[in-house]
Amino acid sequence: MAEGRFKNPVVASLAGIRDFFAKQQLADRLTDNDRAEGKTCLVTGATSGLGFALAVEMARRGARVIMGCRSQIPEAGERVKDISGSDNVEMRFLDLSRVDSIHAFAEGLARDKIKLDIIILNAGVALPGSRMTESGQDEMFMVNYLANVILTQLLFTGGVIPRTRGNGSFRPRIIFISSDSHQGSSAIDYSEFGIYRKYGVSKGISNYSYFKLVLNTYATELSRRINTGGEVRAGIHAICPGPVHTNIIKPAPWLLRKILGAIFSVVFRPPAKAALAVVYMAISPDYEGKTNEYLHMFNPKKMDPKVYIPEEGKKLWEESLRVWKAIDGDARIVQI
């Protein structure tokens, strides 16, 4: 049975204390001269927390920002415009728990001939227990993992993410928002992969970190498949923003939410601050021509060793496509 690193949400949150005081090795590599004019940037889950802060910061640095969101349309976009001082911001509906919504979103971008330079796959949930999506998937598996597979595949096949050169010499960058809690999760258990099972709080937090390991393994395999022959066609990276004071604990039961809220308000960083490391990875020349890098806040690091095993990546690719095809007759796979 697959197991994540943490089984207790309070212990998981307390692990953030060390991160709160950690040195931010590359923090001064991002300066106000790092700009994003001429770049089109997608941020998923941009209505709150880290995603909202990312939309603001990317718009403030001159990018055209597309917010992929399932709620607060158009209010969240108007707030991003106000705070960033940029009008180059739009919102599009995207519910990552629904396959039809992911298709409609990707098709809309293709129809409007949008070419993305920067794709920040940020949306995520930490649910206190199992919840079934319309297509019969576990919601956390779907939103935190499979939806990102489906979306990236559709954006590549629709040409929304160009596989050759992006804007000028800038190659597209895809950033998967992960969590360092993936380190130490068990190997992927294919006997239960994509199968809905009921669970409660402790398995919920365990699954959260396990699905981030799955996500990082997919990011690594995607990078391997897109960037063949030693040429980087797209920079595909993962990052953990560290502990961030956001709405992620909102679905937790009342008492747990109060306890976690107290921890979050003391040792978790404001989203605007946490977003800077992601922005660094998204626009800095330091990442030009690079792929499959991992940052834990501003600190370069290796992901869990299991993430890099090629056979694991291949198996995950095949199994993800199998599950996708089972819930979607219109699954379209990137042909390299």
Ligand X SMILES: NC(=O)c1ccc[n+]([C@@H]2O[C@H](COP(=O)([O-])OP(=O)(O)OC[C@H]3O[C@@H](n4cnc5c(N)ncnc54)[C@H](OP(=O)(O)O)[C@@H]3O)[C@@H](O)[C@H]2O)c1
Smallest distance, Å, CB 38 to ligand X? 26
Binding mask 250-289 for ligand X (x = CB under 6 A): ------------------x---------------------
Among 2, 89, 91, 96, binds ligand X (CB under 6 A): 96
Q: Which helix (H) or strand (E) holds 310?
A: helix 310-327
Q: Considering the complex, what minimum distance in angstroms separates the CB of residue 336 from ligand X?
A: 27
Nearer to ligand X, 15 or 232 (CB): 15
**Considering only residues 8-37, where is the footprint of ligand X by CB under 6 A?**
none
Q: Using CB under 6 A as the criterion, what x/- string covers residues 215-244 for binding ligand X? A: -------------------------xx-xx
Length of the chain equals 336
- CB 33 to ligand X: min, Å: 27
Which one among 58, 123, 260, 279 touches ligand X, defined by CB under 6 A? 123
Shortest Å, Cβ 255 to ligand X = 19
293 is a contact residue toward ligand X (CB under 6 A): no
To ligand X, the closest distance from the beta carbon of 294 in angstroms equals 13
Residue 233 C-beta: closest distance to ligand X, Å: 25
DSSP symbols for 50-106 = HHHHHHHHHHHTT-EEEEEESSSTTHHHHHHHHHHT---EEEEE--TT-HHHHHHHH
Amino acid at 162: P
Residue 100 has phi, psi (to 5 degrees) of -65, -35
Report the alpha-carbon distance of residue 9 to residue 296 in Å, rounded: 20
**Residues 134/138/140/143 CA torsion (nearest 10 deg):** -40
Task: Answer for the pair 30, 52: CB distance below 8 angstroms, yes or no.
Answer: no
Q: Residue 63 interacts with ligand X (CB under 6 A)?
A: no
Integer Cα distance of 30 and 33 in angstroms: 8
Least distance (Å) from ligand X to the CB of residue 335? 27
Check: CB of residue 67 under 8 Å from CB of residue 80: yes
Nearest by Cα to 55 from 91, 80, 73, 30 = 80
Task: Considering only the stretches 109-117, 121-129, 152-160, 193-201, report the one whose residues sit in contact with ligand X under the rule CB under 6 A.
Answer: 121-129
Rule CB under 6 A: say whether 102 interacts with ligand X.
no
Considering only residues 152-181, where is the footprint of ligand X by CB under 6 A?
177, 179
Task: Map residue 238 onto helix, strand or coil.
Answer: strand
Q: Is 124 in the site for ligand X (CB under 6 A)?
A: yes
Residue ranges in 136-155 that form contacts with ligand X under rule CB under 6 A: 143
The Cα–Cα gap between 299 and 23 comes to 8
List of residues 6+ apart from 296 with CB closer than 8 A:
19, 180, 239, 240, 242
| 202 burial level (CB within 10 Å; 0-12, 13-18, 19+) | middle
Cβ contact 44:68 at 8 Å: yes
Quick one: which of 71, 74, 159, 310 contacts ligand X (CB under 6 A)?
A: 71
Taking CB under 6 A as the rule, does residue 48 contact ligand X? yes
Q: Does 183 bind ligand X (CB under 6 A)?
A: no
Tell me the closest approach of the beta carbon of residue 211 to ligand X, in angstroms. Answer: 9
- The answer to whether 99 contacts ligand X (rule: CB under 6 A) is no
By the rule CB under 6 A, 313 interacts with ligand X: no
- Chosen residue from 38, 74, 247, 322 binding ligand X by CB under 6 A: 247
Binding site for ligand X (CB under 6 A): 45, 47-51, 70-71, 94-97, 122-125, 143, 177, 179, 240-241, 243-244, 246-248, 268
